[in-house]
Amino acid sequence: MNTPASLTHAPSQAPAHAPARTPSRASWLSLRRLKRPLKWIVAISLTVTFVPYWLAFYVACGLLDYSRNTDKSFSSLERYLFGNGLFTWLVSPFNLLMDLLCVPFRNKGIYQLSDLPASYQEEINGMIAAVHKHNLIGQLESRLGNDRRGMMFFKWYGKNVPTSVDIPEFHRPFKHIRTIGVSIFNKRQSTGRHFGPLRVTLRVLYNINPIDSDNVYIRVGDHTNHWRDNQLFIFDDTLQHQSHNQSDEVRYCMFVDILRPSLVPRLLSAILTGVRTVVAPFNSVFYKKWTFVE
């Protein structure tokens, strides 16, 4: 019996359920390595092709602003231009203007309390005294639970914030202090490297419970402050910084903003009030990785 030609010459067919081919890990890693230079190539190409004068001005301001950082690595510059420093870059002309308005008070980047005028020192010391007088840690214990990082504000850009923790001294009128909060880092928690947005104020951090560990510290550029050695740390938070609590204890730290020393303090205060009005609707964006403690 002859076999039909249609059967003898039928083309071979793949099994109906042949597994789909997936890219190898090496191919995936290669694509990932290409992503960073490709992003730069596209950005530079678009800039060269379409850049108007105002964008060139922005680039110049951004590079001048970024040059204040001691870490000038490629990854740091990329973070400033395309990562969490993007907003700092976008407001760099404003921040540079704030530097001019604060002349002759030079921006030191990192400050000692003695670098500030006496009236600033008095307000900061009074705030610290109130922390211990009212046993702030005792009032906050167990409120964070299993969350990674928590924040409670008592005053934000000059406006009092209602809280369940009663410390009347935090709600009194201040001449220099504009924001008072407390940040809580759970065990084994750290932030990523990041840039603060605005330079109308300086950041004052007071670590309430100095944990005896080399792994509890803040790093600003190439400077590291271990909280067990110095409980008070004052700096310009538009510089790249990172906080660590790689210990088995919960870390409580006052989170305070003070108006920068200036010959025109009323002007800076008015500017900060305007900033508060503009930024208030977007406040959650800046603290999206934090839990607000009730």
Q: For the residues of 80-127, what is the DSSP string, one character each?
A: HHHSTTHHHHHTHHHHHHHHHHTTTS---SEE-GGGS-HHHHHHHHHH
Residue pair 275/257 in contact (Cβ under 8 Å)? The answer is: no
- Whether the per-residue pLDDT at 262 is higher than 90: the answer is yes
| Residue 242 to residue 42: CA distance in whole angstroms | 30
| Average pLDDT value for residue range 218-237 | 96
Please give the share of the chain, as a percent, with pLDDT higher than 90.
Answer: 65
∠248-250-253 over CA atoms, to 5°? Answer: 135
- Whether the per-residue pLDDT at 50 is higher than 70: the answer is no
Per-residue pLDDT, 53: 76
What tokens appear for 42 in the block?
A: 């596209």
Spell out the domain ranges in the chain. Answer: 38-101, 110-292
Higher pLDDT, 167 or 288: 167
Residue pair 248/187 in contact (Cβ under 8 Å)? The answer is: yes
Residue pair 180/208 in contact (Cβ under 8 Å)? The answer is: no
Higher pLDDT, 51 or 104: 104
Per-residue pLDDT, 5: 46
Q: What is the DSSP string of 151-216?
A: EEEEEETTEE---SS--GGGGS--SSEEEEEEEEE-TTEEPPSB--S--SEEEEEEESS--S-TTE
Nearest to residue 131, comparing CAs of 186, 203, 183, 208?
A: 208
| Residue 220 to residue 236: CA distance in whole angstroms | 9
Residue pair 257/178 in contact (Cβ under 8 Å)? The answer is: yes
Residue pair 287/151 in contact (Cβ under 8 Å)? The answer is: yes
> CA torsion 154→193→150→138, rounded to 10°?
-80
Strongest mean pLDDT among 17-26, 160-169, 251-260: 251-260
- Whether the per-residue pLDDT at 25 is higher than 60: the answer is no
* pLDDT per position as a tens digit, 124-157: 999 999 999 999 999 898 777 788 898 999 999 9
- Whether the per-residue pLDDT at 33 is higher than 80: the answer is no
Query: What superfamily does domain 110-292 belong to in CATH?
Result: B-lactam Antibiotic, Isopenicillin N Synthase; Chain (2.60.120.330)
